[in-house]
Amino acid sequence: MKILFVCLGNICRSPTAQGVMEHLVKKENLHDKISVDSAGTAAWHHGNLADPRSTEHAAKRGYDLTPQRSRPVDPSDFHEFDLIFAMDKNNYNNLLELAPSVHKNKVKLFLKEHGNSKTHEVPDPYYKGEEGFEEVLDLLEVACENLLNKIR
């Protein structure tokens, strides 16, 4: 199973989702069965590390985002990945525009599919301060646990 998490710049939400999911996969010793990556629908930060605030808040909860580098969604991703999860509706719509018709069914809105809250979008924490990054982690921890339970 190959999973791709996608947000706009691939420096806050999707790398955090990748870090949380990788941690769970490793903890459950499923790294030989599940691989995880992240990307952005925009290439502004291509090659950059995750936002330092994302890295810092994730590290406080035991997640390591330091190996990750931002990258844009590539057309090959739609063939390579089994599940492609958008963090919000704008990126979901962008992914549907990019996806070949045969692979559009792989694109899902992550919280709508696996979240336990009334919101279907992971809010962008970039301009929200520390509380924004903590909220993202709260939402993604639940959704990643739910996803892993469903995969099992």
Distance CA(50)–CA(89), nearest Å, equals 21
Among the listed residues 7, 12, 37, 88, the single catalytic one is: 7
Distance CA(108)–CA(87), nearest Å, equals 9
Query: Is 64 a known active-site residue?
Result: no
Among the listed residues 37, 51, 88, 124, the single catalytic one is: 124
Query: Is 12 a known active-site residue?
Result: no
Number of other CB atoms surrounding residue 149 within 10 Å: 10
**Token pair for 109:** 């809105």
Helix/strand/coil for 109: strand
Query: Is 82 a known active-site residue?
Result: no
Among the listed residues 13, 37, 88, 144, the single catalytic one is: 13
The set of catalytic residues is: 7, 13, 124
